[in-house]
């Protein structure tokens, strides 16, 4: 069938005109639609904060920093409900994230689900370092959430140290000094989804639709026009 359409397309200028017109109309409509979508779609910003944990026992031994079980546990803590609830309480995310979506305040469950989709956590191989990346339409909020998660994570380990080690306040200051933080800063340049990218994505979709529509127009023309030279002459 494809060969028949191709041969008919080459042989009949009227068929070529139909395909060209259909393709042009669909492509122009898709381009205009893509421009509107890109214009009204907000950019998404990325902020990253990191922490390097103190690695003397307890609770983390020198070997523990490379232990897969230790790494998995820390990643789970960083994305845990209790940690996110702490961040939510500090930043009132039930209200902030709902407001960004144009909705009334969210429930805790909905806030947790939305936040988990915006947050990514990674482990820096060979170290006791972890990084938290947050996406948000507001660069300031992206940085605040990333810093709040790292801050809550640090406080969790601080309390764990106090419970397990029974260190004095002076010794705890040494532990805290060895915990290295690299807090996120608001950066409008750290865009992960720009309007241009949105336009390009939808323009590509429009091009594919235009090609499909053009091919469909050629097929319809081939099957419904009795004077099409391909209809009776081609095998």
The token duo for 142 is: 């992206």
**129: β partners:** 52, 124
- Residues 122-147: tens digit of each pLDDT: 998 878 889 999 989 888 999 999 99
Indicate if 188 and 115 belong to the same structural domain.
Answer: yes
CB 192 within 8 A of CB 46: yes
Q: What's the CATH number where 77 sits?
A: 3.30.1890
In this prediction, residue 235 carries a pLDDT of 39
pLDDT of residue 190 exceeding 70: no
Please give the DSSP secondary-structure letter assigned to residue 46. E
Indicate if 177 and 209 belong to the same structural domain.
Answer: no
Indicate if 71 and 21 belong to the same structural domain.
Answer: no
Indicate if 85 and 135 belong to the same structural domain.
Answer: yes
Q: Name every residue whose Cβ is closer than 8 Å to that of residue 210 and which is 6 or more positions away in sequence.
A: 22, 23, 24, 26, 27, 30
What percentage of residues in the chain have a pLDDT greater than 90? 23
Residue 33 and residue 39: Cα distance in Å, rounded?
Answer: 10
Residue numbers of the domain that contains 131? 44-193
Query: How many residues does the structure list for the chain?
Result: 235
CB 129 within 8 A of CB 52: yes
Is pTM beyond 0.85 here?
A: no
- Give which of 53, 40, 35, 48 is closest to 134, Cα–Cα: 48
Residue 60 and residue 160: Cα distance in Å, rounded?
Answer: 10
pLDDT of residue 60 exceeding 60: no
Indicate if 113 and 168 belong to the same structural domain.
Answer: yes
Q: Report the range out of 2-11, 55-64, 138-147, 213-222 with the highest average pLDDT.
A: 138-147
Residue 182 and residue 164: Cα distance in Å, rounded?
Answer: 26
CB 112 within 8 A of CB 86: no
CB 211 within 8 A of CB 32: no
Helical ranges in 47-104 per DSSP H: 68-78, 81-91, 93-100
Domains contained in the chain, number: 2
- Residues 79-101: tens digit of each pLDDT: 999 999 999 999 999 999 999 99
Residue 62 pLDDT class (50, 70, 90 cuts): very low
pLDDT of residue 33 exceeding 60: yes
Indicate if 128 and 36 belong to the same structural domain.
Answer: no
Indicate if 71 and 147 belong to the same structural domain.
Answer: yes
In this prediction, residue 230 carries a pLDDT of 44
Indicate if 111 and 158 belong to the same structural domain.
Answer: yes
pLDDT of residue 152 exceeding 80: yes
A 10 A CB-CB count for 127 gives 12
Indicate if 106 and 174 belong to the same structural domain.
Answer: yes
Indicate if 183 and 119 belong to the same structural domain.
Answer: yes
Indicate if 21 and 99 belong to the same structural domain.
Answer: no
pLDDT of residue 192 exceeding 50: yes
Indicate if 69 and 148 belong to the same structural domain.
Answer: yes
């Amino acid at each position: 069938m494809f060969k028949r359409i191709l041969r008919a397309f080459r042989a009949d200028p009227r068929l070529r005109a139909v395909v060209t017109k259909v393709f042009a109309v669909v492509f122009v409509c898709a381009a205009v639609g893509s421009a509107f979508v890109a214009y009204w779609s907000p950019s998404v910003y990325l902020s990253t904060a990191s922490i390097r944990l103190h690695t003397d026992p307890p609770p983390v031994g020198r070997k523990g920093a490379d232990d897969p079980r230790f790494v998995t546990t820390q990643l789970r803590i960083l994305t845990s409900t209790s940690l996110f609830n702490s961040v939510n309480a500090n930043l009132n995310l039930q209200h902030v994230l709902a407001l960004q979506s144009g909705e009334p305040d969210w429930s805790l469950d909905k806030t947790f689900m939305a936040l988990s989709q915006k947050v990514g956590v990674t482990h820096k191989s060979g170290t006791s370092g972890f990084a938290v990346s947050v996406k948000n339409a507001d660069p300031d909020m992206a940085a605040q959430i990333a810093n709040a998660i790292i801050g809550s994570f640090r406080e969790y380990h601080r309390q764990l140290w106090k419970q397990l080690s029974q260190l004095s306040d002076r010794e705890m200051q040494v532990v805290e000094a060895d915990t290295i933080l690299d807090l996120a800063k608001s950066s409008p340049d750290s865009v992960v989804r720009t309007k241009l990218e949105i336009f390009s994505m939808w323009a590509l979709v429009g091009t594919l639709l235009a090609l499909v529509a053009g091919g469909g127009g050629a097929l319809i023309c081939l099957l419904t026009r009795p004077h099409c030279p391909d209809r009776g002459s081609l095998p």
